[in-house]
Amino acid sequence: MMQTKKGTIKSMRHELLSPAGDMQSLKAAIRFGADAVYCGGPLLQLRAEKAGFSQKYLAGAVAYAHTEGKKLYVTVNSFAKNAEIPLVRDYAKELFALGADAAIVSDLGVLAAMKESVPELPVHISTQANCCNFMAARTYYNMGAERVVLAREMTIEEIAELRAKVPKELALEAFVHGAMCMAFSGRCLISSYFNNRSGNRGECTQPCRWSYYLVEQKRPDEYLELEESGGVSAVLSSHDLNCLAFLDKLRDAGVSSFKIEGRMKTPYYVATVTNAYRRRIDNSAPLEALEQELLCTSHRPYSSGFYFGELVKNHFNDGIYRQNCTFVGVVKAWENGRLTLEQRNAFYEGDELEILSPHHFGVTLLVNNIENSKGERVNAATLVQETVSVDCPLVLEPGDMLRKRTNNYDT
Protein backbone atom coordinates (compact mmCIF):
# COMPACT_ATOMS: atom_id res chain seq x y z
CA MET A 1 0.00 0.00 0.00
CA MET A 2 3.02 2.32 0.16
CA GLN A 3 4.82 4.06 -2.65
CA THR A 4 7.74 1.84 -3.63
CA LYS A 5 9.74 3.89 -6.09
CA LYS A 6 9.21 6.79 -8.43
CA GLY A 7 6.41 6.13 -10.86
CA THR A 8 4.96 3.00 -9.23
CA ILE A 9 2.32 2.33 -6.59
CA LYS A 10 1.46 -0.93 -4.95
CA SER A 11 -2.08 -1.99 -5.79
CA MET A 12 -4.79 0.14 -4.17
CA ARG A 13 -8.33 -1.22 -3.87
CA HIS A 14 -10.01 2.10 -3.42
CA GLU A 15 -13.17 2.99 -5.26
CA LEU A 16 -12.82 4.51 -8.72
CA LEU A 17 -15.95 6.58 -9.38
CA SER A 18 -16.73 7.65 -12.94
CA PRO A 19 -19.40 9.93 -14.46
CA ALA A 20 -22.24 9.00 -16.79
CA GLY A 21 -24.47 11.41 -18.67
CA ASP A 22 -26.12 8.64 -20.67
CA MET A 23 -26.24 4.87 -20.96
CA GLN A 24 -23.33 4.72 -23.43
CA SER A 25 -21.07 6.56 -21.00
CA LEU A 26 -22.25 4.37 -18.12
CA LYS A 27 -21.36 1.22 -20.04
CA ALA A 28 -18.00 2.68 -21.05
CA ALA A 29 -17.20 3.60 -17.45
CA ILE A 30 -17.97 0.12 -16.19
CA ARG A 31 -16.23 -1.63 -19.07
CA PHE A 32 -13.04 0.38 -18.53
CA GLY A 33 -12.78 -0.23 -14.81
CA ALA A 34 -15.02 1.99 -12.71
CA ASP A 35 -16.09 0.48 -9.38
CA ALA A 36 -19.06 2.84 -9.25
CA VAL A 37 -20.80 5.35 -11.50
CA TYR A 38 -22.68 8.53 -10.66
CA CYS A 39 -25.43 10.02 -12.78
CA GLY A 40 -28.38 12.38 -12.57
CA GLY A 41 -32.03 11.50 -12.52
CA PRO A 42 -35.18 13.50 -13.26
CA LEU A 43 -35.03 15.70 -10.14
CA LEU A 44 -32.58 18.32 -8.78
CA GLN A 45 -29.45 17.19 -10.59
CA LEU A 46 -26.81 19.77 -11.48
CA ARG A 47 -26.61 18.87 -15.17
CA ALA A 48 -30.30 19.45 -15.74
CA GLU A 49 -30.31 20.20 -19.45
CA LYS A 50 -28.34 17.41 -21.13
CA ALA A 51 -27.08 14.77 -18.76
CA GLY A 52 -29.95 13.30 -16.78
CA PHE A 53 -31.65 9.90 -16.89
CA SER A 54 -35.43 9.64 -16.91
CA GLN A 55 -36.95 7.49 -14.20
CA LYS A 56 -37.34 4.63 -16.67
CA TYR A 57 -33.73 4.79 -17.88
CA LEU A 58 -32.45 5.35 -14.36
CA ALA A 59 -33.99 2.01 -13.37
CA GLY A 60 -32.20 0.39 -16.30
CA ALA A 61 -28.91 2.03 -15.34
CA VAL A 62 -29.12 0.73 -11.78
CA ALA A 63 -29.98 -2.75 -13.00
CA TYR A 64 -27.09 -2.76 -15.48
CA ALA A 65 -24.57 -1.56 -12.90
CA HIS A 66 -25.66 -4.18 -10.39
CA THR A 67 -25.55 -6.93 -13.02
CA GLU A 68 -21.91 -5.96 -13.58
CA GLY A 69 -21.23 -5.97 -9.84
CA LYS A 70 -20.88 -2.17 -9.67
CA LYS A 71 -22.58 0.60 -7.72
CA LEU A 72 -24.63 3.52 -8.97
CA TYR A 73 -25.07 6.82 -7.14
CA VAL A 74 -27.70 9.39 -8.15
CA THR A 75 -27.00 13.12 -7.91
CA VAL A 76 -29.73 15.18 -6.25
CA ASN A 77 -27.40 18.09 -5.63
CA SER A 78 -29.23 21.23 -6.72
CA PHE A 79 -30.40 23.55 -3.97
CA ALA A 80 -34.09 22.96 -3.39
CA LYS A 81 -36.94 25.45 -3.26
CA ASN A 82 -39.83 25.18 -0.82
CA ALA A 83 -42.14 23.47 -3.29
CA GLU A 84 -39.53 20.81 -4.06
CA ILE A 85 -39.14 19.39 -0.55
CA PRO A 86 -42.29 17.21 -0.79
CA LEU A 87 -41.00 15.99 -4.17
CA VAL A 88 -37.69 15.07 -2.57
CA ARG A 89 -39.47 12.85 -0.03
CA ASP A 90 -41.19 10.89 -2.77
CA TYR A 91 -38.04 10.81 -4.88
CA ALA A 92 -36.10 9.24 -2.03
CA LYS A 93 -38.65 6.42 -1.94
CA GLU A 94 -38.34 5.97 -5.71
CA LEU A 95 -34.54 5.83 -5.59
CA PHE A 96 -34.62 3.31 -2.78
CA ALA A 97 -37.12 1.16 -4.67
CA LEU A 98 -34.90 1.26 -7.77
CA GLY A 99 -31.95 0.04 -5.73
CA ALA A 100 -29.77 3.14 -6.07
CA ASP A 101 -26.69 2.73 -3.90
CA ALA A 102 -26.77 6.34 -2.68
CA ALA A 103 -28.16 9.80 -3.32
CA ILE A 104 -25.64 12.64 -3.57
CA VAL A 105 -27.04 15.85 -2.03
CA SER A 106 -25.92 19.41 -1.28
CA ASP A 107 -28.90 20.97 0.46
CA LEU A 108 -29.37 20.45 4.22
CA GLY A 109 -33.12 20.41 3.73
CA VAL A 110 -32.85 17.74 1.05
CA LEU A 111 -30.61 15.66 3.31
CA ALA A 112 -33.07 15.93 6.19
CA ALA A 113 -36.11 15.22 4.00
CA MET A 114 -34.52 12.14 2.46
CA LYS A 115 -33.42 10.67 5.76
CA GLU A 116 -36.86 11.29 7.26
CA SER A 117 -38.58 9.73 4.27
CA VAL A 118 -36.28 6.71 3.78
CA PRO A 119 -33.72 6.32 6.58
CA GLU A 120 -32.29 3.24 4.82
CA LEU A 121 -31.27 5.16 1.67
CA PRO A 122 -27.53 5.95 1.85
CA VAL A 123 -26.77 9.63 1.36
CA HIS A 124 -23.50 11.22 0.25
CA ILE A 125 -22.73 14.93 0.65
CA SER A 126 -21.86 16.64 -2.65
CA THR A 127 -18.80 18.83 -3.14
CA GLN A 128 -21.34 21.62 -3.74
CA ALA A 129 -21.95 21.62 0.00
CA ASN A 130 -18.41 23.00 0.47
CA CYS A 131 -17.43 20.64 3.27
CA CYS A 132 -13.85 21.60 4.14
CA ASN A 133 -13.59 21.12 7.92
CA PHE A 134 -14.06 18.29 10.39
CA MET A 135 -16.94 19.94 12.27
CA ALA A 136 -19.02 20.19 9.11
CA ALA A 137 -18.17 16.58 8.24
CA ARG A 138 -19.16 15.41 11.73
CA THR A 139 -22.44 17.32 11.45
CA TYR A 140 -23.31 15.68 8.14
CA TYR A 141 -22.43 12.29 9.64
CA ASN A 142 -24.69 12.96 12.64
CA MET A 143 -27.50 13.81 10.22
CA GLY A 144 -27.15 10.42 8.57
CA ALA A 145 -24.62 10.93 5.75
CA GLU A 146 -22.37 7.97 5.00
CA ARG A 147 -19.89 9.84 2.83
CA VAL A 148 -18.63 13.38 2.23
CA VAL A 149 -17.35 14.54 -1.15
CA LEU A 150 -14.71 17.01 -0.01
CA ALA A 151 -14.60 20.62 -1.17
CA ARG A 152 -12.08 20.96 -3.99
CA GLU A 153 -10.29 23.80 -2.19
CA MET A 154 -8.82 21.47 0.46
CA THR A 155 -5.12 20.61 0.59
CA ILE A 156 -3.89 17.06 1.21
CA GLU A 157 -2.74 18.09 4.70
CA GLU A 158 -6.18 19.47 5.51
CA ILE A 159 -7.81 16.26 4.29
CA ALA A 160 -5.56 14.20 6.56
CA GLU A 161 -6.46 16.38 9.54
CA LEU A 162 -10.17 16.08 8.77
CA ARG A 163 -9.87 12.30 8.41
CA ALA A 164 -8.27 12.06 11.87
CA LYS A 165 -11.08 14.03 13.50
CA VAL A 166 -14.20 12.38 12.07
CA PRO A 167 -15.70 8.91 12.70
CA LYS A 168 -13.93 6.16 10.81
CA GLU A 169 -17.32 5.04 9.43
CA LEU A 170 -17.62 8.29 7.45
CA ALA A 171 -16.11 7.74 4.01
CA LEU A 172 -14.23 10.53 2.22
CA GLU A 173 -14.45 11.09 -1.52
CA ALA A 174 -12.39 13.55 -3.56
CA PHE A 175 -12.24 14.66 -7.17
CA VAL A 176 -9.09 13.52 -8.95
CA HIS A 177 -9.68 14.56 -12.55
CA GLY A 178 -11.59 16.94 -14.79
CA ALA A 179 -12.97 20.45 -15.01
CA MET A 180 -12.92 22.77 -12.02
CA CYS A 181 -15.22 25.74 -11.56
CA MET A 182 -13.66 29.17 -11.00
CA ALA A 183 -15.91 29.67 -7.95
CA PHE A 184 -15.78 28.02 -4.53
CA SER A 185 -16.72 24.37 -5.14
CA GLY A 186 -18.93 25.44 -8.03
CA ARG A 187 -21.04 27.99 -6.15
CA CYS A 188 -20.99 30.49 -9.02
CA LEU A 189 -23.45 33.25 -9.94
CA ILE A 190 -21.94 34.53 -13.21
CA SER A 191 -24.28 32.46 -15.37
CA SER A 192 -27.26 33.74 -13.39
CA TYR A 193 -26.09 37.32 -13.92
CA PHE A 194 -25.47 37.02 -17.66
CA ASN A 195 -28.18 34.60 -18.74
CA ASN A 196 -30.60 34.18 -15.84
CA ARG A 197 -29.54 30.52 -15.71
CA SER A 198 -28.21 29.43 -12.34
CA GLY A 199 -25.27 27.08 -11.98
CA ASN A 200 -26.72 26.14 -8.61
CA ARG A 201 -29.82 24.84 -10.36
CA GLY A 202 -28.01 22.80 -13.01
CA GLU A 203 -28.28 25.41 -15.77
CA CYS A 204 -24.77 26.90 -15.95
CA THR A 205 -23.79 28.32 -19.36
CA GLN A 206 -20.08 28.31 -18.36
CA PRO A 207 -19.31 32.01 -18.92
CA CYS A 208 -16.03 31.53 -17.03
CA ARG A 209 -14.73 29.76 -20.14
CA TRP A 210 -15.58 32.50 -22.60
CA SER A 211 -12.99 34.87 -24.11
CA TYR A 212 -13.15 38.44 -22.83
CA TYR A 213 -11.98 41.90 -23.92
CA LEU A 214 -11.11 45.05 -21.94
CA VAL A 215 -13.00 48.27 -22.64
CA GLU A 216 -11.70 51.61 -21.36
CA GLN A 217 -14.45 53.84 -19.95
CA LYS A 218 -13.83 56.81 -22.26
CA ARG A 219 -13.34 54.63 -25.34
CA PRO A 220 -16.47 52.45 -25.38
CA ASP A 221 -15.99 51.41 -28.99
CA GLU A 222 -12.41 50.16 -28.56
CA TYR A 223 -12.14 46.53 -27.49
CA LEU A 224 -8.71 45.51 -26.22
CA GLU A 225 -8.08 41.79 -26.52
CA LEU A 226 -6.38 40.19 -23.53
CA GLU A 227 -3.21 38.58 -24.81
CA GLU A 228 -0.31 36.73 -23.28
CA SER A 229 2.49 34.87 -25.06
CA GLY A 230 0.66 35.39 -28.34
CA GLY A 231 -2.57 33.71 -27.25
CA VAL A 232 -5.90 34.77 -25.81
CA SER A 233 -5.85 34.91 -22.03
CA ALA A 234 -8.86 33.20 -20.48
CA VAL A 235 -8.95 35.28 -17.32
CA LEU A 236 -11.68 33.25 -15.58
CA SER A 237 -11.05 29.78 -17.00
CA SER A 238 -9.44 27.35 -14.58
CA HIS A 239 -6.97 24.61 -15.39
CA ASP A 240 -8.33 21.06 -15.44
CA LEU A 241 -7.54 18.80 -12.50
CA ASN A 242 -5.17 15.84 -12.90
CA CYS A 243 -4.16 13.79 -9.84
CA LEU A 244 -2.82 10.70 -11.59
CA ALA A 245 0.70 11.11 -10.21
CA PHE A 246 -0.26 11.47 -6.55
CA LEU A 247 -3.23 9.17 -5.92
CA ASP A 248 -1.14 7.50 -3.21
CA LYS A 249 -0.92 10.79 -1.29
CA LEU A 250 -4.69 11.24 -1.41
CA ARG A 251 -5.16 7.64 -0.30
CA ASP A 252 -2.74 8.06 2.57
CA ALA A 253 -4.58 11.21 3.65
CA GLY A 254 -7.75 9.15 4.02
CA VAL A 255 -9.58 9.44 0.70
CA SER A 256 -11.33 6.17 -0.12
CA SER A 257 -13.12 7.14 -3.35
CA PHE A 258 -11.41 8.76 -6.34
CA LYS A 259 -13.93 10.73 -8.39
CA ILE A 260 -13.66 11.69 -12.07
CA GLU A 261 -15.61 14.77 -13.20
CA GLY A 262 -17.51 14.73 -16.50
CA ARG A 263 -21.22 13.92 -16.73
CA MET A 264 -21.33 16.11 -19.86
CA LYS A 265 -18.42 14.24 -21.46
CA THR A 266 -18.49 11.69 -24.27
CA PRO A 267 -18.21 7.91 -23.83
CA TYR A 268 -14.74 8.13 -25.41
CA TYR A 269 -13.64 10.64 -22.76
CA VAL A 270 -15.09 8.54 -19.95
CA ALA A 271 -13.45 5.37 -21.30
CA THR A 272 -10.03 6.98 -21.75
CA VAL A 273 -9.84 8.67 -18.37
CA THR A 274 -11.36 5.74 -16.45
CA ASN A 275 -8.94 3.37 -18.16
CA ALA A 276 -5.93 5.52 -17.19
CA TYR A 277 -6.94 5.79 -13.54
CA ARG A 278 -7.88 2.10 -13.33
CA ARG A 279 -4.44 1.14 -14.62
CA ARG A 280 -2.77 3.59 -12.26
CA ILE A 281 -4.62 2.18 -9.26
CA ASP A 282 -3.83 -1.37 -10.34
CA ASN A 283 -0.23 -0.48 -11.29
CA SER A 284 -0.71 -2.20 -14.63
CA ALA A 285 1.04 0.41 -16.80
CA PRO A 286 3.87 2.96 -16.32
CA LEU A 287 2.88 6.35 -14.96
CA GLU A 288 4.55 8.18 -17.85
CA ALA A 289 2.49 6.22 -20.40
CA LEU A 290 -0.73 6.86 -18.48
CA GLU A 291 -0.02 10.58 -18.32
CA GLN A 292 0.19 10.50 -22.11
CA GLU A 293 -3.20 8.74 -22.19
CA LEU A 294 -4.79 11.73 -20.47
CA LEU A 295 -3.57 13.97 -23.29
CA CYS A 296 -5.70 11.95 -25.73
CA THR A 297 -8.97 13.50 -24.55
CA SER A 298 -10.24 17.06 -24.84
CA HIS A 299 -9.00 19.13 -21.89
CA ARG A 300 -7.67 22.47 -20.79
CA PRO A 301 -4.11 22.69 -19.37
CA TYR A 302 -3.73 20.36 -16.40
CA SER A 303 -2.87 21.21 -12.79
CA SER A 304 -2.88 19.59 -9.35
CA GLY A 305 -5.67 21.88 -8.16
CA PHE A 306 -5.45 23.08 -4.55
CA TYR A 307 -4.09 19.79 -3.16
CA PHE A 308 -0.59 21.22 -2.62
CA GLY A 309 -1.66 24.72 -1.69
CA GLU A 310 -1.97 27.53 -4.22
CA LEU A 311 -3.27 26.84 -7.69
CA VAL A 312 -0.61 26.40 -10.35
CA LYS A 313 0.64 29.74 -11.67
CA ASN A 314 3.82 28.76 -13.46
CA HIS A 315 2.45 28.37 -16.96
CA PHE A 316 0.03 30.14 -19.23
CA ASN A 317 -3.61 29.09 -19.40
CA ASP A 318 -5.17 30.07 -22.69
CA GLY A 319 -8.41 28.27 -21.82
CA ILE A 320 -8.24 26.39 -25.13
CA TYR A 321 -9.24 22.75 -25.20
CA ARG A 322 -6.74 20.44 -26.87
CA GLN A 323 -6.17 16.73 -27.39
CA ASN A 324 -3.58 14.48 -28.98
CA CYS A 325 -5.96 12.02 -30.59
CA THR A 326 -9.21 11.85 -32.53
CA PHE A 327 -11.76 9.15 -31.70
CA VAL A 328 -12.43 7.28 -34.95
CA GLY A 329 -14.62 4.30 -34.06
CA VAL A 330 -16.09 1.86 -31.58
CA VAL A 331 -15.78 -1.90 -32.00
CA LYS A 332 -19.01 -3.77 -32.72
CA ALA A 333 -17.62 -7.26 -33.41
CA TRP A 334 -14.50 -9.28 -34.31
CA GLU A 335 -14.51 -12.53 -36.26
CA ASN A 336 -11.88 -14.47 -38.21
CA GLY A 337 -9.40 -11.62 -38.37
CA ARG A 338 -11.95 -8.98 -39.41
CA LEU A 339 -12.97 -6.11 -37.21
CA THR A 340 -16.41 -4.49 -37.52
CA LEU A 341 -16.71 -1.00 -36.12
CA GLU A 342 -18.98 2.01 -36.10
CA GLN A 343 -17.10 4.98 -37.56
CA ARG A 344 -17.09 8.30 -35.67
CA ASN A 345 -14.37 10.33 -37.43
CA ALA A 346 -12.62 9.78 -40.76
CA PHE A 347 -9.75 7.33 -41.19
CA TYR A 348 -7.98 6.03 -44.27
CA GLU A 349 -6.22 3.04 -45.73
CA GLY A 350 -2.71 2.93 -44.28
CA ASP A 351 -3.54 4.90 -41.12
CA GLU A 352 -2.08 3.66 -37.85
CA LEU A 353 -4.83 3.55 -35.23
CA GLU A 354 -4.35 3.17 -31.49
CA ILE A 355 -6.48 0.64 -29.63
CA LEU A 356 -8.25 1.70 -26.44
CA SER A 357 -9.19 -1.44 -24.52
CA PRO A 358 -9.27 -2.66 -20.92
CA HIS A 359 -7.41 -5.77 -22.14
CA HIS A 360 -4.70 -4.22 -24.35
CA PHE A 361 -2.39 -1.26 -23.76
CA GLY A 362 -0.03 0.49 -26.14
CA VAL A 363 -1.16 -1.55 -29.16
CA THR A 364 -1.77 -0.15 -32.64
CA LEU A 365 -3.56 -1.34 -35.77
CA LEU A 366 -2.51 -0.60 -39.36
CA VAL A 367 -5.65 -0.05 -41.45
CA ASN A 368 -5.94 -2.49 -44.33
CA ASN A 369 -8.79 -3.69 -46.55
CA ILE A 370 -11.60 -1.31 -45.57
CA GLU A 371 -15.07 -2.49 -46.56
CA ASN A 372 -18.18 -0.33 -46.22
CA SER A 373 -21.61 -1.44 -45.01
CA LYS A 374 -22.40 -2.78 -48.50
CA GLY A 375 -19.31 -4.98 -48.48
CA GLU A 376 -17.58 -2.77 -51.05
CA ARG A 377 -13.84 -2.17 -50.87
CA VAL A 378 -13.05 1.51 -50.17
CA ASN A 379 -9.91 3.44 -49.30
CA ALA A 380 -11.48 5.60 -46.57
CA ALA A 381 -14.18 5.59 -43.88
CA THR A 382 -15.72 9.06 -43.95
CA LEU A 383 -19.43 8.63 -43.22
CA VAL A 384 -20.17 9.23 -39.55
CA GLN A 385 -21.68 6.19 -37.80
CA GLU A 386 -21.32 4.02 -40.89
CA THR A 387 -20.52 0.38 -40.13
CA VAL A 388 -17.22 -0.63 -41.74
CA SER A 389 -14.80 -3.53 -41.40
CA VAL A 390 -11.01 -3.81 -41.56
CA ASP A 391 -8.36 -6.48 -41.15
CA CYS A 392 -7.36 -6.98 -37.52
CA PRO A 393 -5.16 -9.86 -36.33
CA LEU A 394 -5.70 -8.94 -32.67
CA VAL A 395 -8.90 -10.16 -31.02
CA LEU A 396 -10.93 -7.15 -29.88
CA GLU A 397 -14.27 -6.99 -28.09
CA PRO A 398 -17.43 -4.90 -28.48
CA GLY A 399 -16.93 -1.61 -26.67
CA ASP A 400 -13.21 -1.33 -27.44
CA MET A 401 -12.37 1.92 -29.23
CA LEU A 402 -9.98 3.14 -31.92
CA ARG A 403 -8.34 6.54 -32.15
CA LYS A 404 -5.91 8.34 -34.47
CA ARG A 405 -3.02 10.45 -33.18
CA THR A 406 -3.19 13.98 -34.52
CA ASN A 407 -0.94 16.15 -32.31
CA ASN A 408 1.80 15.95 -29.73
CA TYR A 409 2.09 18.29 -26.74
CA ASP A 410 2.69 17.89 -23.00
CA THR A 411 0.08 19.85 -21.01
Domain ranges for the chain: 3-183+238-303, 325-405
pLDDT digits (tens, 9 = 90+) for 227-251: 554 444 566 667 889 999 999 999 9
Mean pLDDT of the 3-10 span: 41
**Per-residue model confidence as pLDDT tens digits over 312-363:** 555 556 667 889 999 999 999 999 999 999 999 999 999 999 999 999 999 9
Q: Each residue of 278-311: pLDDT tens digit?
A: 999 999 999 999 999 999 999 988 989 999 987 6
Residue-wise pLDDT for 148-207, tens only, equals 999 999 999 999 999 999 999 999 999 999 988 766 666 677 777 677 777 666 677 777
Same fold, 3-183+238-303 and 325-405: no
Question: Is the domain 325-405 a CATH 1.10.287.130 member?
Answer: no
User: 111-142 pLDDT, tens per residue?
Assistant: 999 999 999 999 999 999 999 999 999 999 99
Q: What is the pLDDT, as a whole number, of residue 320?
A: 77
Q: What is the pTM of this model?
A: 0.88
The pLDDT of residue 341 is 97
- Checking if the pLDDT of 4 tops 50, the result is no
Fold of 3-183+238-303: TIM Barrel (3.20.20)
pLDDT tens-digit series, residues 19-51: 999 999 999 999 999 999 999 999 988 665 566
User: Could you write out the three-class secondary structure of the chain?
Assistant: CCEEECCEECCCCCEEEEECCCHHHHHHHHHCCCCEEEEECCCCCCCCCCCECCHHHHHHHHHHHHHCCCEEEEEECCCCCHHHHHHHHHHHHHHHHHCCCEEEECCHHHHHHHHHHCCCCCEEECHHHCCCCHHHHHHHHHCCCCEEECCCCCCHHHHHHHHHCCCCCCEEEEEEEECCCCCHHHCCCHHHHHHCCCHHHCCCCCHHHCCCEEECCCCCCCEEECEECCEECCCCCCCEEECHHHHHHHHHHCCCEEEECCCCCCHHHHHHHHHHHHHHHHCCCCHHHHHHHCCCCCECCEECCCCCCCCCCCCCCCCCCECCEEEEEEEEEEECCEEEEEECCCEECCCEEEEECCCCCCCEEECCCEECCCCCEECEECCCCCEEEEECCCCCCCCCEEEEECCCCCC
